[in-house]
A = this chain, B = another copy of it.
Amino acid sequence: MTIDRRSLMGAAAIGAGLLSTAQAQTAAPAAALPPAPATPPPKVTQILARYITGARFEDLPANVRKEGTRTFLNWMGVAVGGSHHETVDNAVAAMSPFSGKPEANLMGRAEKLDILNAALVNGISSHVFDYDDTHLKTIIHPAGPVASAILALSQHRPVSGREFLHALVLGVETECRIGNAVYPSHYDMGWHITGSCGVFGGAAAAGKILGLNEQQMAWALGLAATQPVGLKIHFGTMTKSFHAGRAAQNGLTAALLAAQNYTADVTALEGKDGWGQALSRSVKWTEVTEGLGSRYEAALNTYKPFACGIVSHPGIDAAIQLRSENKLTADQIDSVTLHANPLVLSLMGKTEPQIGLEGKFSIYHCVAVGLIYGAAGEKQFQDAIVKDPAVVALRHKITVNTDAAVPTQKSDLTIKLKNGKVLTKHIENAVGSLEKPLSDAALEAKFSDLADGVLPKAKAQKLMQLCWDVEQAADAGAIAAAASA
């Protein structure tokens, strides 16, 4: 059965006298059409489909493969770490009664679900701490919508580590390039870009693993375009992390449908009444199409060293360095002064946080735990730590001076000791930034910290090694199995 591009519904609408003139012109004779734009948009959807289906693992530069592996390791850590959050418990309770064949593991948990529900839950789990990876140019958290989809899929059909890593990189590349094309307009409109662009990443990666042909891949991208997820208004609720999980699930659904020749428009990104038109006020499609296969956004992923907003990271970095260099203990400290951008206070100015999540919005708490623990991982934002008298006492000794001339990635920290000595530290680029990326060792420490209390130490250690070795793995699905609790 072939299908005509024009729609009965369109006819119905116009028949009912409900459409605007501009809409009626869609199907009107050529003479009535407005002049075509000078440069029609490139065939973005098909160009992407051709690139994704044609890409070969052998052509990936070594640094891209390495960053893809780091992306996977970091994703696994946060997915395991977040796996027992109330948000995840509620999602599992809601979806389990309707789950199909339990083929796919939930990271850090005992349950198995069908691959679509596992993609949802693992995506939620990996985003719930807001401690995942960041493509800084778009603020997309790239791994959640992609790794969650294809790791589950790897438990349904055999996928080698190379295939898995390649699909992961292509998925990240796809979502970040589309994000680049619409940022910041798309984000300003209210979209949570991790979900609304992430769905393309999930579809591209799953489609690559399913071996879709170019036509099917274009359909998959079209099916992804028609089911974006995520409004920013939900930040601060459980629905925020739903976005990452649902994007993974929707992307996987899109690829599975396309594999069965479920058709979609193959200009869904760039065409009239398509994704770009509906979801952004301005679009620069060349961000998607130029340099495919030579310039890799997937190589620009970053990983949070601290489980709180990036604006506090220079201050925490300074605190940890001074502590380490001077073997500082809290009882030596008389006063602390942070010189930083005003956003530090407007975003993170809570002076008396009472619970963990409030601690994440307190620069005072962040610097205090940096000085006391030499860390600001998820553990340092537990309720008990926020209420710890020693932490509270040190928070009260901290002053923040703001200065619009200080860029957000910089800070100066000054500590006056009780013995009169003064220590200072200038941070030019905080650890975790593109300029000063998290080292492999730091990624490992983050992973171990997150897995602690969820998986036995030896199991966590083994899982970490499996992630590092993903490129050599015969069976990517085995890594998922190794992440079960």
Binding site for B on A (CB under 8 A): 1-20, 22-24, 27-29, 32, 85-87, 90-91, 93-95, 97-101, 114-116, 130, 134, 136-139, 141, 156, 183-184, 187-192, 195, 219, 222-223, 225-240, 242-243, 246, 253, 256-257, 259-265, 267-268, 271-275, 277-279, 304, 308-313, 343, 346-348, 355-358, 360-361, 407-409
Contact = CB atoms under 8 A, between A and B. Distances in A.
A313 B223 CA distance: 32
Contacts of A191: 278
Contact of A100 (B13, B87, B114, B190): B114
B5 A236 contact: yes
A126 to B, nearest CB: 14
A237 B268 CA distance: 11
B15 A267 contact: no
Contact of A22 (B188, B347, B408): B188
A99 B117 CA distance: 10
Nearest to A186: B278
Given A236-B3, A265-B234, A101 B101 contact: no
B346 A28 contact: yes
Contacts of A3: 236-238, 357
B277 A189 contact: yes
B229 A93 contact: no
Give the copy number. Answer: 2
Contacts of A187: 19, 23
B268 A9 contact: no
A355 B3 CA distance: 9
Contact of A15 (B29, B192, B311): B311
A263 B233 CA distance: 12
A311 B2 contact: no
A356 B189 CA distance: 41
Contacts of A100: 97-100, 114
A341 B483 CA distance: 65
A11 B311 contact: yes
Nearest to A434: B16
B15 A256 contact: no
B267 A343 contact: no
Contacts of A184: 18-20
